[in-house]
Amino acid sequence: MANGILNCTVNGEAKQIMIDDRESLTDVLRNQLGLTSVKKGCEVGECGACTVLIDGEAFDSCIYLAIWAEGKEIRTVEGLMDAEGNISDIQEAFIDEAAVQCGFCTCGAIMSSIPVLEDSKEYTTEEIKKELSGNLCRCTGYENILNAVEKTKKHRCENCKN
């Protein structure tokens, strides 16, 4: 077993973590840092339940070796809360639009939407669908998830213009 030290930033905090070089980023985030928003679904990069942002880009953390995260910035749903612990606007939109049922896919879908929401570009519905296409949901039929992302994007763009 090869062990190493992983130096990275997780949700804005510098971390130095002892890892097995064969561990997935999902396992390190869940088991060592207690970030349970990162779900273990298919473990082959198909369902998107484990989606996190790495340097601002959405990745399936189950097929991303933790060692590859050296020097990188990682964000999970836990990192979306404000300093007072309030949930983010996209999380609130998921609630408002009933875009959750069992909740297993929710965190991955939210994290996949963040690059869209933080981009100044205007997205069409089809473009948003494409960005979220790596996330499988068996409960909501996707429309409510799409509605939540579109609502949040629209709200953020309105706030940018003011």
Structural domain for 98, as ranges: 89-161
Q: What is the mean pLDDT of residues 122-135?
A: 94
Q: What is the mean pLDDT of residues 90-96?
A: 96
Q: What is the mean pLDDT of residues 58-85?
A: 97
Q: What is the DSSP letter of 74?
A: E
Q: What is the largest CA-CA distance in the chain?
A: 55
Please tell me whether residues 56 and 10 are part of one structural domain. Answer: yes
Summary mean pLDDT of the chain: 94
Please tell me whether residues 18 and 36 are part of one structural domain. Answer: yes
Q: Which residues have a Cβ under 8 Å from the Cβ of 130 and sit 6 or more positions away? A: none
How many domains does the chain fold into?
A: 2
Instruction: Provide the β-strand partners of residue 9.
Output: 14, 73
